[in-house]
């Protein structure tokens, strides 16, 4: 729509260079998460080049597939940026955009997360001066623990509310993993989870009438179908 609004020349729109992941594997020119990561890394590398020392890279992002989250975070980290523990905040959705085409897609989550990455200085040998990596993080356990803590405090929650709580805590952990890039096989297996629904199904009860998650107990046995 911007093309029509401000008169951008059609030659600037080269869809074959668009950075995305195709949902359908049989699509012509099918693009994978590896393509997605490499494309974003090239964009973030240019941002790193033009930013002043300690400059910030800020953008919004949302997706229900953790492979997409990991690809975005890893691309920024590998380009030379760092993400602090307070580098992610949630932004409520704009009411008028709740029923747009992409938010009507099954399982889409309303709202966005705002990332704030900071440019790291470079060592004389050209390598980014990244902090020492922390101990290994078990993502599956972290998702469950965050969701359980939220439900213990609030008694019940929508998928969107749990998603927000989980991702706000999970993104910095993903940044730590991306900075190491030491366990690709384990990460690939873990990140095949399509969002947080599967681990939630295995641990918590879901009321399909109210569309609410709750802690499992003897008086509540209605669970989401597997």
pLDDT tier at 70, thresholds 50, 70, 90: confident
Q: What is the mean pLDDT of residues 164-192?
A: 68
Structural domain boundaries in the chain: 15-214
Look at residue 198 and tell me whether its pLDDT is greater than 80: no
* d(C-alpha 5, C-alpha 44), whole Å: 27
Q: Whole-model pTM?
A: 0.69
pLDDT given at position 181: 67
Please, what is the average pLDDT of the chain?
75
- Cβ burial 90-119 (10 Å sphere, 16+ → b, else e): eeeeeeeeeeeeeeeeeeebebbbebebbb
Return the top range by mean pLDDT from 72-76, 161-165, 195-199. Answer: 72-76
For 13-53, write each residue's pLDDT tens digit.
666 667 767 665 556 556 788 888 999 999 999 999 999 99
Rounded mean pLDDT, 134-146 = 73
Cβ atoms of 48 and 79 closer than 8 Å: yes
């Amino acid at each position: 729509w911007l093309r029509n609004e401000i008169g951008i020349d059609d030659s600037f729109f080269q869809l074959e260079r668009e950075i995305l992941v195709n949902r359908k594997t049989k699509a012509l020119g099918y693009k994978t998460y590896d393509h997605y990561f490499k494309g974003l890394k090239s964009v973030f590398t240019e941002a790193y080049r033009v930013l002043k020392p300690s400059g910030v890279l800020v953008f919004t992002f949302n997706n229900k597939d953790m492979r997409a989250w990991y690809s975005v975070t890893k691309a920024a980290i590998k380009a030379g940026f760092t993400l602090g523990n307070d580098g992610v905040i949630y932004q409520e959705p704009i009411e008028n955009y709740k029923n747009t085409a992409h938010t009507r897609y099954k399982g889409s989550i309303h709202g966005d997360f705002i990332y704030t990455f900071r440019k790291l200085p470079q060592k004389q040998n050209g390598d980014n001066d990244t902090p020492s990596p922390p101990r290994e993080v078990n993502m599956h356990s972290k998702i469950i623990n965050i969701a359980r803590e939220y439900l213990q405090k609030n008694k019940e929650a929508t998928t969107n509310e749990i998603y927000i709580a989980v991702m706000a805590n999970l993104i910095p952990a993903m940044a730590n993993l991306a900075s190491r890039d030491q366990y690709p096989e384990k990460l690939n297996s873990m990140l095949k989870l399509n969002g947080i629904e599967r681990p939630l199904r295995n641990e918590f009860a879901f009321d399909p009438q109210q569309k609410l998650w709750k802690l499992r107990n003897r008086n509540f046995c209605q669970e989401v179908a597997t």
